[in-house]
Amino acid sequence: MIKAKPTAPQNDETQKETKEKHRSIVSIITWVIAVLMILLMSASLYQYLRGQSLLELINLKSEQIGSDNSNVVLPTYAAADEYQSVKRDANADTVLPTGYRKEPVSYTVAPGDSIFGIAQSFDLEPESVLWANYDVLNDDPHLISVGQDLVIPPVDGILYEWKEGDTLDKVAAKYYVDVDDILLFPGNDLDMTNPTIEPGTLVMIPGGYREYETWVVPSVASSDAGVNSTILGPGGCSTSSGGSVGTYTFIWPTPYRVISGNDYWSGHQALDMMCYLGDAIFASDSGVVVYAGAISGGYGNLVMIDHGNGYQTLYAHLSTINVSCGQNVYQGQVIGGCGSTGNSTGPHLHFEIRMNGGMINPWLVLQ
C-alpha cells in the first residue's frame, strides 16, 4: 500500500499569496474611498462658502436699501370709472429746437446795423432777411437806414404774401420746395385736410429760394483795349492807358483788419470794413483813379481805382476824398477818410474788388 505525500507546505504558500492579494485590493479600495471622501468634503465646503458669500451679499444689499424691513402696505387697487386722457393737437414738428420761432417779428434798424449783422443775430442767412423786406429794400442791402422797421422771418426761406389765384403747387414750384414744406411748417397753421389760404396771408416757405438783383456800380470800359475803365457819374473821367500799374497784391485799405457789418455774400459782393470817422483810407494797390466824387445808389462819396491789369477796387461811404479823377496813386497812399455817406448806418468802408468787370471775393486776394 502506497502512502500519499504530505501537501501542507504548498497549501500554506497558496494561502499566503491569496492573503497578500486581498490586502492589496483592500488598500486600493481604501485609497479610492479616501480620495472620494476628500472630493466630497471639498465640494461641500465650496458650496457652504459660496452660500455664505451670497448671504452676505444679500444682507449687504438689504442694509443699503434700509434697515427697516417691515412689510410695505400697498394701496388698495380701485379701477377708475373712466380712463383719463390728454388732448393733443397734431404737430408735424413735435420736437422744436430752443429759441425756435414760428412767427415773423419786427426789428428796428439801429446805428451800425447791416443786413448781414441783423441776419446773424437772428441765426438766419442774409438773403432771407433781404427777401422778406423787398417792399422797402428792393433787394438792395444798402438801402437800410436807422429807424427803419424790418420784418424778420422765423426761419430761412421766403416769407410770401399769398395772392389771388395762387396754389400750393405753383408757389412751391416757384420757390423750389415741396408742397409738404409749406404744409408742415407750424407757423403757417394750415388745415392738412383742407389747406385753404386767403389772399394777403403771410406764408412761410422754409428753404425757399429766388433770384434777386445784385446792386453794383457799373463799370464802363473804354472802346480801346487796355484803356482804363471808369464808371458813370459826376466824379468819372476818361483816362488813357498807362499810368501806375498794380502789383497783383492787395493790402487792407483800413487801419484795422476787422469786418463791421456786411461780409461778402451773394447779395453783398463786397466787404464792409471797420473804421472810425475820419480814419485814413489807403489805396489797396497802385493804379489810376477813374472815379472820385459822390454817386447815386447808396455808395455816397466814392473812389474807384483801375489797376491797369484787369483789376479795379472801389471805396465807398467816404467822408472826404483826397484824390482826383485821372490821378496816379500808389499802394498804401491815402485816398480819403472813413465816413458814413450814402446809405449807411454808421462809419465804415464798403470795399469791392473787380476783375474784368466782374465781382470777386476780396478775401481771395487780400493780404
* CATH code (residue 199): 3.10.350.10
Q: Which of 206, 232, 254 is the last residue of a domain?
A: 206
- What does the pLDDT profile of the chain (367 residues) look like in tens digits? 444 445 445 556 666 667 777 777 877 888 888 888 888 787 776 666 665 555 565 555 555 555 555 555 655 555 444 434 334 344 444 344 455 789 999 999 988 888 888 988 999 988 899 999 999 888 888 788 889 999 999 999 999 999 999 999 999 999 999 999 999 999 999 998 889 999 999 999 999 988 866 655 555 444 344 445 555 566 767 665 668 899 999 999 999 999 887 887 777 788 899 999 999 999 999 999 999 999 877 889 999 999 999 999 999 999 999 999 999 999 999 999 999 998 888 899 999 999 887 888 999 989 8
Which residue among 157, 185, 206 closes a domain? 206
Do both 190 and 235 map to the same domain?
Answer: no
Residue 62 falls inside a structural domain: no
165 with 117, same domain: the answer is yes
The pLDDT value recorded for residue 227 is 43
CA distance 37 to 68: 44
Look at the chain and report how many structural domains it folds into: 2
- Identify the pLDDT of residue 265: 73
pLDDT the model gives residue 20:
73
Query: What distance in Å separates the CA atoms of residue 88 and residue 92, rounded to the nearest whole number?
Result: 12
Whether residue 56 is contained in a domain is answered as: no
Residue 256: predicted pLDDT: 92
Residues 332 and 256 in one domain: yes
Domain check: are 202 and 234 in the same one?
no
| Residue 151 domain flag | yes
Q: Is the domain of 304 the same as that of 273?
A: yes
Q: What angle do CA 226, 229, 233 make, to 5 degrees?
A: 160
Which domain covers residue 176, as residue numbers? 105-206
pLDDT of residue 275: 94
Verify that 181 and 138 share a domain, yes or no. Answer: yes
The verdict on residue 168 lying in a domain is yes
Same domain, 277 and 357: yes
Task: Check which CATH number belongs to the domain holding 267 and give it.
Answer: 2.70.70.10
**Are 348 and 224 within one domain?**
yes
Out of 206, 230, 246, a domain closes at 206
Residue 293 to residue 291: CA distance in whole angstroms: 7
Same domain, 202 and 223: no
Q: Is residue 98 part of a domain?
A: no
Q: Which residues contact 121 (CB under 8 A, 6 or more apart)?
A: none
Residue 89 lies in a domain: no
Q: Are 283 and 331 in contact (CB under 8 A)?
A: yes
Same domain (yes/no): 250, 314: yes
Burial of 252 (0-12, 13-18, 19+ CB in 10 A): middle
Write down the pLDDT at residue 349: 93
Residues 279 and 356 in one domain: yes
Is residue 41 one of the residues assigned to a domain? no
Beta bridge partners of 106: 151
Say what the pLDDT of residue 14 is: 67
Q: Are residues 187 and 240 in the same domain?
A: no
Q: Is the pTM of this model over 0.85?
A: no
